[in-house]
Amino acid sequence: MRRRGCSNIFLTVFFSTLAFACLDPFFFIGYLISIALFGLFQALFMANAGGAWDNAKKVVEVELKEKGSALHAATVVGDTVGDPFKDTSSVAMNPVIKFTTLFGLLAVELAVQFSRGVTLVLAAVFFVISMVFVYRSFYGMRIKSGGGD
């Protein structure tokens, strides 16, 4: 299940990058700048939040000496979320930014050589494909409730 989710996100980024690259070169420049800025702030947020969750568990264990309590159990849950945040998710933003830049610049080079009508059709097709993967990621992978809800 997890691999499918990562594939959906990858294909969403891939096809949306191609769509924006085919739409307009100047629009794509703005897209790259926004990916870089928001990716930087997202990575900083994830690294700091993960570190905070990790440090909260250490404070409860070492300073408050509450190991085994309900508070400690809560910080263990927070640490379970925090470790992937600081160790993997924030670090993964750099390849996403590099990947988007590389494929987008190659797509812009190709799109410049086509007529405006062809590039608009390609942009629309790539955007629709991207939205299919957004749908699959957000709605197709929902956890079904086991009860009679």
Per-residue confidence (pLDDT) for residue 90, from 0 to 100: 65
CB-CB contact of 17 with 9 (8 Å): no
Continuous H helices in the chain: 2-23, 25-58, 70-84, 93-113, 116-138
CB-CB contact of 60 with 86 (8 Å): no
Token output for 80: 């379970």
Lowest mean pLDDT among 1-10, 58-67, 109-118: 1-10
Can you give the pTM of this predicted structure?
0.72
pLDDT tens sequence across 71-119: 888 888 888 888 888 877 767 788 888 888 998 999 999 999 999 999 9
pLDDT at 146 exceeding the cut of 70: no
- The residue among 108 and 137 whose pLDDT is bigger is 108
